[in-house]
Every structure is written in structure tokens, then in C-alpha cells.
Amino acid sequence: KMAEKQEEPSNAQNGEPDNAEEGEEKKKKKVKREDLPPFEIVTGERLPAIFFKFQFRNVEYSSGRNKTFLCYVLESQGKESVTSRGYLEDEHAAAHAEMAFFNTILPKCESSLRYNVTWYVSSSPCVTCADRITETLKKNKNLRLTIMVGRLFMWEEPEMQAALKNMKSAGCKLRIMKPQDFEYVWQNFVEQEEGEEAKSFVPWEDIQENFQYYEEKLAEIL
């Protein structure tokens, strides 16, 4: 009942392979590509609406959705609280977006301050990224991390389940995005058309059922 709907933008339009298996293979083989622009974080930059609508959709069979988009809100708590936000995607980074966050944004954080970080990610991390999250949280006692995910990635794999449990025991809060969370991302991280009133978020048909489906799965794992 939760198979893909036909009205998805075609995968080709997103530069995605049509075949999910092929996408997974490519992901494994993805080596650092020299022709990518140097990775930089542009705060205030927003992701294109078509990427959001395709990549963040909380479907069960995520055919062609083999890129991770990570939107983050970083609050530092010192004398005064400072909030910054931005988004990362795998491609800029020649690494997974989760790694890119740790390699490029976290080092700029002063170790004396406490940080509350919330990620809104299209799907939950792979095993390697999950292990890195666990490691980072154990090392940085001043870091609080909440990860809101649209979908669970390879959640049937025992290795993946173990990695998610380790993240939880290291203090990471893992949550499935509710319709309101998708709306928050839409309002705060997605490009709005120039000169138009900000378009309101239009939930897709099965957004609530899919949220409940993944929430049950996550509860079983954790």
C-alpha cells in the first residue's frame, strides 16, 4: 500500500538513477570526485523545492533516493544564545552529509560552549555515519544532537539496528519527522519562488501513515 506513487518527478530529473540497486552500488563506489566545487557552507542558502519534494518524501520504497540532504539548526549556549542554520548534501561534500557536518561545522564550535544541534535529514544515517555520530557524542559532552529523519535507511539489517541503538545510548535523540516537521523544513530551508507569497506546505497523501509506519519500526528497533 505504500509503494511509490506515479506522480513523482522522474528520477532522471533529479539526476538520480532509476534503478535503486544501481544507486546503492554507485554509493559504495563513490570516491572523492575532483571536479566537485570546494565544499563550503552557505548559511541562508535554501534547497530547491523539487529536491525537497522528492528526497524528503517519507515513502517506504525509496527508489532513486540515494542522496542525503541534511538541514541543521545549531544553537550555542554561552553568555547569549546564537542560532545558525544551513543545509548540506552529499554531493558538495565528497562525503556523506553527516560526516560533512562533523568535518566542517563542528570544528568551528568552541569546546567551552554547549551546543544543541537538530538535524532534519531525508533518511537515517548509514552504519558508518551512525558509528561516527556515536563516537562524536561520546567525545563531546557539550553536544546534544537530535536527528529528525524522513525515512529509515536499511532498518531491517541487524548491523544497522545495532548502530542505531548505539547512537541512542550515546545520547542521540532519533525521531521520525511528523507532518509538522516537514512543514518546518519547507518554511525554513526550501527556496520560495521570488516575489511570491511564501507558498504553504502541501502534505502528500500518505504522509501521516508513512510517519506512523516508520515510527513503529523505530520504536521496535530502539
Confidence label for 188 from pLDDT (cuts 50, 70 and 90): confident
Give domain status of residue 120, yes or no: yes
Confidence label for 43 from pLDDT (cuts 50, 70 and 90): very low
Give domain status of residue 51, yes or no: yes
Give domain status of residue 14, yes or no: no
d(CA 23, CA 27): 6
Count the Cβ atoms, other than its own, within 10 Å of residue 65.
Answer: 24
36, 89, 97, 166 from 181: Cα distances, Å? 31, 19, 19, 24
Does residue 98 carry a catalytic annotation? yes
For 167, the domain range is 42-191+201-221
Residue-wise pLDDT tens digits, 204-214: 889 999 999 99
Domain count, the chain: 1
Give domain status of residue 12, yes or no: no
Confidence label for 198 from pLDDT (cuts 50, 70 and 90): low
The active-site residue, picked from 98, 183, 193, 220, is 98
Residue with cell 575532483: 34
d(CA 190, CA 198): 10
Give domain status of residue 10, yes or no: no
Q: Is the pTM of this model over 0.95?
A: no
- The CATH number covering residue 140 comes to 3.40.140.10
* Among the ranges given (43-47, 68-72, 116-120, 179-183), the one the predictor scored with the smallest mean pLDDT: 43-47
Confidence label for 156 from pLDDT (cuts 50, 70 and 90): very high
* Among the ranges given (41-55, 83-97, 114-128), the one the predictor scored with the smallest mean pLDDT: 41-55
18, 35, 54, 159, 203 from 129: Cα distances, Å? 25, 24, 22, 13, 29
Give domain status of residue 173, yes or no: yes
Give domain status of residue 73, yes or no: yes
